[in-house]
Every structure is written in structure tokens, then in C-alpha cells.
Amino acid sequence: MLREAAAVERAHVLPHHGSYSNGAHQYGCVMLYLELCPDPQFKTVRAILAHDLGERWCGDIPAPAKWSMDKVLRAELEELEERCIRRMGQEFPLDHVEAMWLKVVDCLDLWLWAHEQLAMGNRNAQTVIDNIEKFFHLKRANIPINVVCFMADYEWQRTPDEIPE
């Protein structure tokens, strides 16, 4: 079940280059958390790895669809995804700060993926970038300063092909 959940494709309604699986996304989220969080916690790493596992059964519902749902329907979807995660034994209750980090790296990984898409000429990704930056601006009081600085200083570039000494 866990391997199948990692194979779910993300961003399927947005024309894009290549694959963007939950497994790649979860890896990206964990690496961002470990790099940006001043005091990373193992429980949070596990929660980040598990946060989209319910999509194995529910699918990756596009954000605009979730935004358009009434509160009851959205709560039912969230409960269904959480039930799937519990069924796999992967539930990790988080406190406020841990939950904030999960949300931040979840969005930040998608933001970076969209920048990669843009670098490959996919202008469809600009909407994703704009939406995440708008969300981060609205939630700026809850975004850690090192994440704000990372985003402000970020400029996409491919890593050089030379192997470091």
C-alpha cells in the first residue's frame, strides 16, 4: 500500500513535463524540512512522508476543486484521507508548529516543481507559483523567516554536471 501511494501522480490537471509523483513530492518535502527547519523532529519527518498516502484511494484532488468545496464536503474528504492513513498505520498527530512546517514544505516543494516546469518552458506552471506566493503572503505571520528568505533569494538553476571534489 505504501509503495502504491507513492506512485500517485500529482498535478494531473496541469499540462506538464515528466512525472511528478507523491513519492518524489514527499522526498522533496522531507529534504526541504531537514534543510530549513532549525530543529527537525523525526515525528514530523514521518508525518511529511505520510501526508498524501490517502490519495492512493482518494486521488490527488486539484486545489481549485478543494477551494470550491463547501466546508462539510471538504471535511469529509479530509476525514476519508485521514482514515486511509490510519488504516496504513501511518498517523502522526502534530502540534501547531509541526503542522505549520508540514504545510510550508508541502507548498514549497510544489513551488519549486513549478519553477522547474517554468524553466523547461511550461508557462502553465506560472499559475501554481502565483497561487503559492499569494497563499504564503496571506499566511506570512506563520511562515518561518528562513523560508521567506529562501524564497526571496531563490533563482532556478540547474546544478552543474561536474562532480564536486
pLDDT, position 43 = 95
For the CA atoms of 129, 135, 137, 139, the dihedral, rounded to the nearest 10 degrees, stands at -150
Residue 159 covered by a domain:
no
| % of the chain at pLDDT higher than 70 | 100
Total domain count, the chain: 1
Task: Find the CATH number of the domain harbouring 50.
Answer: 1.10.3210.10
Half-sphere exposure of 143 (CA within 13 A, CB side): 22
Domain membership of residue 77 as a residue range = 2-153
Q: Which residues of 111-143 are buried (b: 16+ CB within 10 A; e: fewer)?
A: bbbbbbbbeeebebbeebbebbeeebeeeeeeb
Calculate ∠ Cα 47-145-39, nearest 5°: 45
Half-sphere exposure of 64 (CA within 13 A, CB side): 7
What residues contact residue 105 under an 8 Å CB cut-off, 6+ apart? 29, 30, 32, 33, 36, 48
pTM exceeding 0.85: yes
Give the separation between CA 130 and CA 102, rounded to whole angstroms. Answer: 20
- 47, 33 Cβ separation under 8 angstroms: no
Residues 68-101: tens digit of each pLDDT: 889 998 899 889 888 988 888 888 889 999 999 9
Residues 6-43: tens digit of each pLDDT: 999 999 889 999 999 999 999 999 999 999 999 999 99
pLDDT, position 95 = 95
pLDDT, position 91 = 82
Of 44, 46, 61, whose CA–CA distance to 104 is shortest?
Answer: 44
